[in-house]
Copies of this chain bind each other. A is one copy, B any other.
Amino acid sequence: MTDKTIGIIGGGQLGRMLAMAASRLNFRTIILEPQADCPALQLANRQIVAAYDDEAALAELADACDVITYEFENVPVAAARFLADRRPVYPPPRALEVAQDRLAEKTFLNDCGIRTAGFRAVDSQVDLETALAEFGGAGVLKTRRLGYDGKGQKVFRAGDDAAGAYDALGAVPLILESFIAFDREISVIAARAVDGSIACYDPAENVHRGGILHTSTLPAEIFEGTSSDARSAAIRLLDKLDYVGVIGIEFFVATDGALIANEIAPRVHNSGHWTEAACVISQFEQHVRAVTGLPLGDPVRHSDCVMQNLIGDDIHDVRDWAGKPDVLVHLYGKAEPRPGRKMGHVTRLTGRA
């Protein structure tokens, strides 16, 4: 019988959906999250309201749980290591280290034999100008840490003036990435169990708007070989990290089908929400299974589908969505529909797979 308690760091919609999946398998969940009455709490057993680096709270979480996981990749690595001294922490803290720093991430991906955009570390204005010269004056300058959904970035086209750009992004460690030509974006949601077994869902084709995921469509319009390349990249990467849990890996796809990895998210991923509607075992249950030592579920997809995020005021269309056939609506229990805020998602089944 399954009677463990799972600690989840982070109480947003991903923690909420993990808690929901956990409850269906008889697991209890405790959320560690500084925001009181967080979205995850409605579905979880308990919330510890504390900062992610509060050691007393972390110790309390470890004492109360059998295993600990997280819903976002910016969990302080020190906190994850503090917990890992006391209880199993999945995915391993090493995955956080890699994912939190774009330089470490791209270096790691290349070490796994996975192609990325060209990149240069930028720790000064001089570094920036040298790197830009190497990339023909074009590239995307990004903070190495804590950037997401397009924030903390600056784009350079050939001829743009780079003066002051290092300071403008905060004079923090940066990375310059070369532009790459690509036709489409895909992601692979994969899971690895404690015993090393791996399950990959079919790649989703993703469309972003304003730097935020808009839709994920299954199947992706890609070559069969691109799909299997994405899977084997996922497998190499998961094995190398001795990973446990679900991971999301984003790729650009070139016209010839070649893959260029963009980033990894060591957690359940927005581009995997479709699994809830089109697979027997969702990415959320898959993650719960992995971290609790249950066998991984079969990631087979019974239907084609399109997942669409409901951002900000999109939430007001919920009644219309609910009236359409073959649409699963999932809302996150957030009170205020602020611009850019992920309020929910809908998945429309478009045919049998």
Q: Which residues of A contact B (CB under 8 A)?
A: 1-2, 20, 23-26, 28, 42-43, 45, 277, 280-281, 289, 294-295, 297-298, 300, 302-303, 315-316, 318-319, 322-323, 325-333, 337, 344, 349, 352-353
Contact = CB atoms under 8 A, between A and B. Distances in A.
Nearest to A335: B3
B326 A280 contact: yes
B294 A319 contact: yes
Given A45-B42, A277-B280, A295-B323, A24 B331 contact: yes
Q: Top 7 closest A-B pairs, CB basis?
A: A298-B325, A295-B323, A26-B331, A352-B352, A294-B322, A24-B330, A280-B328
A277 B279 CA distance: 9
Contacts of A331: 2, 24-26
A200 to B, nearest CB: 14
Contacts of A43: 20, 23, 43
Which among A23, A316, A332, A353 has the highest number of chain B CB atoms within 10 Å?
A23
A315 to B, nearest CB: 6
A106 B323 CA distance: 35
A298 B280 contact: no
A352 B352 CA distance: 7
B23 A315 contact: no
Copy tally for this chain in the complex stands at: 2
Given A25-B318, A280-B326, A297-B322, 18 more contacts: A1-B316, A1-B318, A1-B337, A23-B42, A24-B331, A26-B333, A26-B344, A42-B45, A280-B327, A280-B349, A294-B319, A294-B322, A295-B319, A295-B323, A298-B325, A298-B326, A302-B352, A352-B353
A66 to B, nearest CB: 16
Which among A26, A28, A297 has the highest number of chain B CB atoms within 10 Å?
A26
A315 B25 contact: no
Given A26-B331, A302-B303, A316-B1, A295 B322 contact: yes
Contacts of A328: 280-281
Contacts of A297: 322, 325
A289 B344 CA distance: 17
Contacts of A325: 297-298, 300
25 contacts: A1-B315, A2-B318, A20-B20, A20-B23, A20-B43, A23-B43, A23-B333, A24-B329, A24-B331, A25-B322, A25-B331, A26-B318, A26-B331, A26-B332, A26-B344, A28-B42, A42-B45, A43-B43, A289-B322, A294-B322, A298-B325, A300-B325, A302-B302, A302-B303, A352-B353
A295 B316 CA distance: 15
Given A2-B331, A43-B23, A295-B319, A349 B277 contact: no
Contacts of A349: 280, 302
